[in-house]
């Protein structure tokens, strides 16, 4: 059984979630091979306070394996490593911390959707994404998108415990 084709997006906000919402950075769709969103931030491109994920569907069936990843950037030149989840056919999971090279208050983030042929015998029926803000090695509350079978959509914003300048995010997904 195939599940619906989708893309992944990320959106950031500042001032504890009440102002300076940035644009949604979106990957290409899975059926187009996936890909990388542009770096996106809050409206002033400086130390956003929260982030949410988007799971957007075309409703058309697709039969591909996937994993998601992310990368952080901090002005002027601090770029973090690209990190990935396990593959969906392996049960999904979470990334390591997505942060810049000094692990301190990145300005922008991007998400990655990577596609490959689904291994023989593997089946993916549904997916939902999750995101957790982390600051000083303390994780905030994990937020989830709706399941793809229910139409997908945005997760609530994820914040660290004081809703101020997290050091990065952990993103992931569940499959069923």
pLDDT level of residue 73 (50, 70, 90 thresholds):
very high
pLDDT at 59: 86
- Are 67 and 74 within 8 A, CB to CB? no
pLDDT at 1: 56
- Are 84 and 23 within 8 A, CB to CB? no
* pLDDT cut 70: percent of the chain above it: 99
- Across the range 31-60, mean pLDDT stands at 96
Cα(14)–Cα(44) distance, rounded to whole angstroms?
9
Alpha carbon 34 to chain centroid, angstroms: 13
Annotated domain spans of the chain: 3-175
pLDDT at 2: 74
* pTM confidence score: 0.97
């Amino acid at each position: 059984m195939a599940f619906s084709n989708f893309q992944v997006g990320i959106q950031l906000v500042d001032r504890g979630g009440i102002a300076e919402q940035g644009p949604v950075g979106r990957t290409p769709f899975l059926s187009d091979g996936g890909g990388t969103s542009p770096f996106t931030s809050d409206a002033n491109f400086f130390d956003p306070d929260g982030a949410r994920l988007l799971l957007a569907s075309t409703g058309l069936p697709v039969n591909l394996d996937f994993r998601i990843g992310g990368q952080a950037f901090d002005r002027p030149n601090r770029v973090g490593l690209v990190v990935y989840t396990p593959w969906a056919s392996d049960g999904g999971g979470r990334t390591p911390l997505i942060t810049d090279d000094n692990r301190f208050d990145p300005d922008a983030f991007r998400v990655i959707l990577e596609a490959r042929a689904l291994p023989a015998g593997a089946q993916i029926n549904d997916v939902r994404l999750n995101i957790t803000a982390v600051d000083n090695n303390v994780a905030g509350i994990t937020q989830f998108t709706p399941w793809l079978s229910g139409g997908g959509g945005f997760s609530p914003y994820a914040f660290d415990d004081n809703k101020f300048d997290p050091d990065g995010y952990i993103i992931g997904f569940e499959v069923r």
